[in-house]
Amino acid sequence: MPLLPGKRVLVTGGSGFLGGRVLEQLTSHDVAEVFAPRSAEYDLRQPDAIRAVLGDTRPDVVVHLAAVVGGIGANMESPGQFFYDNAIMGIQLIEESRLAGVERFVCLGTVCAYPKFVPAPFHEDELWNGYPEETNAPYGLAKKMLLVQLQAYRQQYGFHGIYLLPVNLYGPNDNFDERTSHVIPALIKKCCEAVDSGAESITCWGTGRASREFLYVDDAANGIVAAAERYSGNEPVNLGSGQEITILELTELIAELVGFQGKLVWDTDKPDGQPRRWLDTTRAEQEFGFRASTDLRDGLRRTIDWYRESSAGQAIPAGASLRTDS
């Protein structure tokens, strides 16, 4: 039986890159009302603000997407902030939701929660078999603690929370700020600017040998809403595309699609991040019928077209390197 029709739904992070797509999806699932307040209205790091937003919206379902995120550089510069902000938001929101009588809590985790070295594709049962990759471990561990909390709350209080583990997202309206952007928007921006300026080369972090899996943002939204409507299990669930690609292959593909024909220079003094990221998505398909439908090439083309038509962000400074993590 569908679990969303007639429900009041609160989406944290609803004004963000992924949140906007989730809101669009929810409107087609017969929910009673959807609320997506901004952080300027309710700072989720503050208990009083959490109690206020829950009191003002009275949700039956909470979808927690809000997070402080960034690339390798941002994670290395602010590990304490990444740990504290993500942990405190989630821990307090789960507790206050329980106290407020929320029926269902949907929590978005991160692929960064997986151990640095784990057989690929990553299966959910491997989540605790090692320590995360060091450059983003504080962020990954903070988000993973929310899984522990949800499972403990289900056991003690009967609180129904589900936990989803998405791979790296991309698509139109992504963050193209060079200080905090992830690898796909950073590469698109750099290659477009190189074409426009006639640059002969671009410089990227790492060796290019690390691999990643990318999920188009609309597919991610579909998966989250499908899980919210149909999944009630206690175990975490991966959300991915099933397509693994090395950073070198990704860079070459984006350069091809943008039309950049110059040289790719790899700064091997910079970290690669986690060696591989590729998820086993069997559980998502079995439990709530989710399978990504957007091919990477097609999704990249749509993202590039959107970027070229927009005035997103400022130019990456000359000589800047690209971060090649999530």
- Indicate which residues carry an active-site annotation: 139
Q: Which residues of the chain have pLDDT under 50?
A: 312-326
Domain ranges of the chain: 8-169+214-239
What pLDDT does residue 273 have? 83
Nearest to 135 by CA among 65, 206, 203: 206
C-alpha span between 310 and 306 (Å, rounded): 6
What pLDDT does residue 229 have? 96
Pairing of strands 104-108, 161-166: parallel
Tokens 């209080």 sit at which residue?
157
Tokens 């993590």 sit at which residue?
325
Query: What CATH fold (topology level) applies to the domain 8-169+214-239?
Result: Rossmann fold (3.40.50)
C-alpha distance from residue 186 to each of 72, 141, 266 (Å): 12, 25, 15
C-alpha span between 183 and 189 (Å, rounded): 10
Tokens 């750099």 sit at which residue?
190
